[in-house]
Chain A
Amino acid sequence: MGSFATSKEARRRHQTQQVAFAVLAGMTVLLILPVLAILGLLIWRGAPALSIEFLFSDPVRGMTAGGIWPAIVGTMWLVGVSLAIAAPIGVLAAVYLNEYAGDTWATRIIHLAIVNLAGVPSIVHALFGVGAFVLFFQFGTSILSASLTLAIMTLPVIIASTKEALSAVPMPFREACWNVGASRWQTIWHVVLPNSIAGILTGVILQVSRAAGETAPILFTGAAVFVPFLPQSVNDQCMALSMHLFTVSTQVQNVPQVITYGTALTLVLLVVMVNGLSIVFRSRIRRRRKW
């Protein structure tokens, strides 16, 4: 065998390595390019629409003119109410799983349920919302029904990230607290939660971004194509940005391009900004963590 660096075998292997690297990098670029192209196009065609007037006025003439203010307000209602329901349940569920539950079959079933809850199709969540909240509990098609549906759908997001935040709190913190005579709950309240609050907030932010973008679960449970007034309570129906984008791009004829692109851009900017916030938040936490 000749010298290692110049042997045929070594060169061939080096070439394969180069090709493999190029192919894998190419696949990754193929994933990233569409995102950039899509964002670019949405901004290019949607930005001219984004004016104070577009954001803050009502749609008029069968939604072929005017703005999207009621849809923005409706989305805020849906996100706010679903967050108020999902956040406490999700955080406490994660507290149970991380601080109380042992490694038993019951815990396994809970984990399995969370995985499956995250995997249930959004349209099945919608059917559930209709069957349970609209009809059985008689909340009607309302913000309450839609928000409950959204809350259950986004629960796994909050549980997963809260659990991660809780398990990042080192065990000695808890042991130190138990040693001075604190009970389990006192330890959680005074030590575990304060030390993981930033991570918990990250999960909550992600829930907001998921809930703001969903369409199918609110189609039949509380969102409406057009509501002539802003919602006053959780018993009202509302418009929503996601639903509005669906309506103006498929259900209504002759909607000017600026309105459809403007609506799409507003929704994407909202979701991306909220997501960006959680990414910034997370990297801050990582940098600041002292243990």
Chain B
Amino acid sequence: MSPDVKSDRLVGRSPARERLHRAGELVIETVIRICGVSAVIFVFGIFYFVFREAAPLLFGGLDIGQLLTSEAWYPDSSNPRYGAFALIAGTLSVTLLAMLIAMPLGIGAAIFVSEFSRGRTREILKIVIELLAAIPSVVWGFIGLVILNPIIIDIFDTPIGLNILNGAILLALMSVPIMVSIGEDALKAVPDSYREAAEAMGATRWQVTWRVLLPAARNGLLAAVLLGVGRAVGETMAVLMATGHSVNVPDSPLDSVRTITATIAAELGETAQGSDHYRVLFVLGSLLFLITFLVNLTADLVIRGIRKR
């Protein structure tokens, strides 16, 4: 197929039309450049507007030490205290357990899709994993509520099945697709000559994977896990619905908790705009923004490091 060019439109115009055309082109190219940098504007915009609502409290009396270390989250009491340690512990515990479940599954599936399957099987696997990524988080929360909840009550004989384990299973399933796709990219980026050299020495496919590919793709797999962590920390609806909604530093995976994200989602609607309670939720939002920013930045630097090599 040859490029579709209507050359008569491009040559032989009068000078006046030509000038008009140049001007039009300048306008459209300016618009393109603005759109090009829009992502940068939006990221700064997000930080600016979230921080703007948080700032009056942050610089006007909020005890940051208390926020990060105290367990006392009593935003509505007549003597309000804003200790978010239990919320931070909630987020960390759910994320940690989710990653313990997701890492073997995600990396295992990435290896299987990339090295042990081909043709039709591989296509079907990729489509199913893509569908896994497409299921909305509120539907995952619903699944935690109506399906996982009774199962957990049955198996562990607990009074309620809305807890860390429930949320972690959901988060694991939600963050696996990105781990598989980034992990697969990392494995694909290992030059075929590595595989061929190992196979020529009589290595089985598993030996090639274990001794050659995994060490070579180590950084990419690390980035895959980091992006999964970023997903899990920021996930809102599923953990709001499935982790049981109790502000509490957990002792076991069967304890109910409430994460930072769930707290914002649950309480923002009830606060008066401009109140301290309202602003402290924006402070927590700024904190979340910074955490995910650092995690994503690290993942990106790791991925870029690989490409350079």
Asked if B42 is at the interface of the complex by the 8 Å CB criterion, the answer is: yes
Within the assembled complex, what's the spacing in Å between the Cα atoms of A31 and B179?
12
Say whether chain B's binding surface is mostly helix, strand, loop, or mixed.
Answer: helix
Within the assembled complex, what's the spacing in Å between the Cα atoms of A187 and B268?
49
Known: A110-B36, A115-B296. A128 touches B45 (CB 8 A): yes
A242 in complex: contacting residue of B45, B49, B136, CB < 8 Å: B136
A124 in complex: contacting residue of B46, B125, B132, B139, CB < 8 Å: B46
Report whether A31 and B134 are in contact in the complex, using a CB–CB cutoff of 8 Å.
no
| Smallest beta-carbon distance A151→chain B, Å | 10
Report whether B281 and A127 are in contact in the complex, using a CB–CB cutoff of 8 Å.
yes
Query: Looking at the complex, which of A34-42, A57-65, A66-74, A227-235 is the stretch in contact with chain B?
Result: A34-42
Asked if B64 is at the interface of the complex by the 8 Å CB criterion, the answer is: no
Report whether A177 and B50 are in contact in the complex, using a CB–CB cutoff of 8 Å.
no
Report whether A249 and B146 are in contact in the complex, using a CB–CB cutoff of 8 Å.
yes
A25 in complex: contacting residue of B116, B206, B296, CB < 8 Å: B116
Within the assembled complex, what's the spacing in Å between the Cα atoms of A191 and B204?
48
Asked if A79 is at the interface of the complex by the 8 Å CB criterion, the answer is: no
Within the assembled complex, what's the spacing in Å between the Cα atoms of A183 and B23?
13
Could you tell me how many residues of chain A have their Cβ less than 8 Å away from some Cβ of chain B? 95
B45 in complex: contacting residue of A32, A126, A132, A180, CB < 8 Å: A132
* A27: chain B residues within 8 A (beta carbon): 104-105, 108-109, 112
Interfacial residues of chain A within 139-195, with CB under 8 A of chain B in the complex: 152, 155-156, 159, 173, 176-177, 180-186, 190-191, 194-195
B207 in complex: contacting residue of A13, A118, A155, CB < 8 Å: A13
Report whether B204 and A260 are in contact in the complex, using a CB–CB cutoff of 8 Å.
no
* A245: chain B residues within 8 A (beta carbon): 138-139, 142
Report whether A242 and B105 are in contact in the complex, using a CB–CB cutoff of 8 Å.
no
Report whether A25 and B300 are in contact in the complex, using a CB–CB cutoff of 8 Å.
no
| Smallest beta-carbon distance A88→chain B, Å | 8
Asked if A216 is at the interface of the complex by the 8 Å CB criterion, the answer is: yes
Asked if B137 is at the interface of the complex by the 8 Å CB criterion, the answer is: yes
Asked if A136 is at the interface of the complex by the 8 Å CB criterion, the answer is: yes
Nearest 4 A/B pairs, CB to CB: A121-B234, A213-B136, A96-B36, A27-B108
Q: Interface on B for A, CB 8 Å cutoff?
A: 1-7, 10-11, 25, 28-29, 31-33, 35-40, 42-43, 45-46, 49-50, 52-53, 104-105, 108-109, 111-113, 116, 125, 127-132, 134-139, 141-143, 145-147, 173, 176, 180, 204-207, 209-210, 227, 230-231, 233-237, 241, 261, 264-265, 268-269, 273, 281-282, 285, 288-289, 292-293, 295-297, 299-300
Residue contacts A-B, CB under 8 angstroms, 6 given: A89-B35, A155-B38, A191-B3, A191-B4, A249-B241, A264-B139
Other A-B contacts than A110-B37, A245-B142, 14 sampled, CB-CB below 8 A, are: A27-B112, A32-B125, A89-B35, A100-B33, A101-B36, A113-B40, A120-B46, A123-B234, A128-B45, A131-B49, A185-B29, A213-B137, A215-B138, A275-B131
